[in-house]
Amino acid sequence: MFAIEVHATFCATHQLRLPGGTSEPLHGHDWHVTARVISPQLDALETVMDFHDLELSLRKICDSWNHRHLNDISPFDRTINPSAERVAQRMAQLLAPEIPPPGKLYSISITEAPGCAAIYMLD
């Protein structure tokens, strides 16, 4: 199995909805994102996929969230909390269709604070 990773960063605020109907204080992060793509075989160029294509797809998602309040962006504008875990999951949902076969998105890692990462892994 082969794997590649790309990294991106975006700045955004969020507030988790707490039990009882309150919210944590509004705060922001520099969200650091790592996307890992795996493949059982290499393509004609002997790569998992083009790094630039993966970077562009990840950057497109990050740019759409950059300098935004995540609670205002679907699906976080409803009942889904914009936790690092759910942000990673949503990013995976958006990025996975962009990966050409036989490659497959393996995971999205989100770091919202140094030393703390949430990872969403696909089946």
Report CA-CA distances (Å) from 74 to 5, 41, 90, 115: 26, 35, 9, 27
Domain extents in the chain: 6-15+27-37+49-121
Residue pair 69/87 in contact (Cβ under 8 Å)? The answer is no
Residue pair 96/105 in contact (Cβ under 8 Å)? The answer is yes
pLDDT, averaged in runs of 10, over the chain (123 residues): 98 96 95 98 96 98 98 94 98 98 97 95 92
Could you count the other beta carbons within 10 Å of the beta carbon of residue 78?
7
Question: Is 1.10.287.3510 the CATH classification of the domain at 6-15+27-37+49-121?
Answer: no
Task: State the pLDDT at residue 123.
Answer: 81
Q: Which amino acid is at 70?
A: L
Instruction: Give the pLDDT confidence of 75-104 residue by residue, as tens digits.
Output: 999 889 999 999 999 999 999 999 999 999
Q: Tell me how far apart the alpha carbons of residues 68 and 12 are, in angstroms, rounded to a whole number.
A: 5
